[in-house]
Amino acid sequence: MIVTPLETLAAWASAVSAADIPAAQHRRARLRILDTLGLIAAAADHPAGRSVAAWAEVGGGSGAHVLINGAPAAPAVAALVHGSLAHARDFDDSFSDTVVHPGSIVNAATLATAERADASFDAITAAITVGYEISGRIASVAGRGFHARGFHATGLVGPIAAAAAAGRILGLDAAAMADALGLATSMSSGLLAFLADGGWSKWLHTGWSAHGGIIAAELASCGFRGPHHGLDHRYGLYGAFLGMTEPNLDAVTAGLGSTWLGAAASAKGFPCAHVIHPYIEAVLALQAEGALGADDVASITCVMAPWALPIVAVPRPAKIAPRNDLEAIASLPFMVAAALRDGRVDLATLQPRTIGRADILALAARIDCAGDDRLGTGFDGLLNAERRDGRTVSRAVTLSEPHQDQVVAKFRANTSQLSPDACAALERALLNDAPGGGDLARLALAALARPQ
């Protein structure tokens, strides 16, 4: 019998036990849940958040809840809301090699499914770890190829990872898991058209992925068959989206259970495109050292890998004067200028009053970007600043990984307007205890739900 790469992946995803997963991965999953719940809270009052929550009232159902308002919903409906909210401030984790955002999708799908199943905490962290692992492996084959073709890679990879995580909670066997993953490949979607005008489709891609993955897993649990050649066929994921008629899928299956590619997903310290982060860190460090202040700048050139330029540097008019929060999130000149002017980049940076500030925009106009083919293994680069006094300041930039204390501080900041006691109880449970799906949902509802 022919065993396809998708079947190999599905067999591992269904069979790996919580005990087989290293303790470090379970600990990492705790922080990932905490981070995602804080991000859901941070976007609850955004117009996009209110819109998708209103849609959930139409979608309806039961078995789970919309965490920001307590409304009952089917798991797939709740996951669409939570996945969209968690990405809406572009503050969620990503893989530096593929710029795929796994957390908004995998965590949203897992938590909604686990609430209905009242899954054990070990089952929850195992499902999250499996989802991240599959996300990292599926994405690695494409690299940044999806983006180069005009697709939002997160929306293409996401449904498959969500199906794996939800399938774990539902207890799918290898055959049913393969059906779920195969069905999920047909749910892959997401265009970069939002770059033209700041439309909210980017944020929907994560919610839609979590939603689609759950639907695929639920259908598979009822015996609905999916294509087991969803990865390797000429019209599979890579053939259809990238024209790869014979993709090398070794990265999808090699070292399963021993090499944990999902661990490479990095949490964010700033609410903006991840490739911008090293440059923000660089100017904040130079500012702290007294080497560069906002009023010192004659010009700044940020050197990066050419693939990143279309995301954060062009078209230049929109990057030096963003019209909305989505454009600001993807503008390196704006974000670096805001960091220098305010000494920080946080959710307040995305407020309309900040996006329109004349002092930030004037400085952004003096910040440019350039490509260098020698860069691109990660979010590496170089920042060159010309000071008004004629001196030059340069700094090589690399991406730093936030540690646990920083992720916890980020959660506290994102939930600072909510009940301190309820949020502290949720934090303690996630960091120290083992709440099942039902208890975790109740803790999250107590912390995140606003009165209606």
CA nearest 262: which of 164, 166, 176?
164
pLDDT at 398 exceeding the cut of 80 = yes
Instruction: Report the C-alpha gap between 12 and 357 in whole angstroms.
Output: 52
| Mean pLDDT in residue range 112-123 | 98
| Mean pLDDT in residue range 84-113 | 97
| Mean pLDDT in residue range 115-141 | 98
Using a pLDDT cut of 90, give the percent of the chain over it. Answer: 91
CA nearest 239: which of 13, 5, 9, 12?
5
Instruction: Report the C-alpha gap between 88 and 409 in whole angstroms.
Output: 19
pLDDT at 399 exceeding the cut of 90 = no
Q: Are 61 and 79 in contact (CB under 8 A)?
A: no
pLDDT (0 to 100) of residue 1: 67
The rounded mean pLDDT for the chain is 96
pLDDT at 195 exceeding the cut of 80 = yes
Please report, to the nearest 10 degrees, the dihedral formed by the alpha carbons of residues 69, 265, 137, 96 taken in order: 120
| Mean pLDDT in residue range 360-376 | 94
Do 5-268+419-448 and 274-397 show the same overall fold? no
pLDDT band with cut points at 50, 70 and 90 for residue 450: confident
* Residue range 202-232, pLDDT digits in tens: 999 999 999 999 999 999 999 999 999 999 9
Specify the higher pLDDT residue, 374 or 185.
185
- Greatest mean pLDDT among 124-128, 241-245, 447-451: 124-128
Angle of helix 201-221 versus helix 153-170 axis, rounded to 10:
30
pLDDT (0 to 100) of residue 114: 98
Instruction: Report the C-alpha gap between 282 and 280 in whole angstroms.
Output: 5
* Residue range 77-87, pLDDT digits in tens: 999 999 999 99
CATH number of 274-397: 3.30.1330.120
Residues 6+ apart with CB under 8 A from 424: none
pLDDT band with cut points at 50, 70 and 90 for residue 436: very high
pLDDT band with cut points at 50, 70 and 90 for residue 60: confident
Choose the weakest-confidence range: 208-222, 238-252, 425-439.
238-252
pLDDT band with cut points at 50, 70 and 90 for residue 377: low
* Residue range 306-359, pLDDT digits in tens: 989 999 999 999 999 999 999 999 999 999 999 999 999 999 999 999 999 999
pLDDT (0 to 100) of residue 220: 98
CA nearest 171: which of 322, 15, 279?
15
Is residue 61 left, alpha or beta, with left meaning phi > 0 and alpha meaning psi from -120 to 50?
Answer: left
| Check whether domain 5-268+419-448 has CATH 3.30.110.40, yes or no | no
Instruction: Report the C-alpha gap between 94 and 264 in whole angstroms.
Output: 8
HSE at residue 300, side-chain half, CA atoms within 13 A, is: 32
pLDDT (0 to 100) of residue 452: 62
| Mean pLDDT in residue range 423-437 | 98
CA nearest 300: which of 271, 334, 325?
334
* Residue range 379-390, pLDDT digits in tens: 889 999 999 999
| Mean pLDDT in residue range 42-71 | 94
Q: Domain-by-domain residue ranges, the chain? A: 5-268+419-448, 274-397
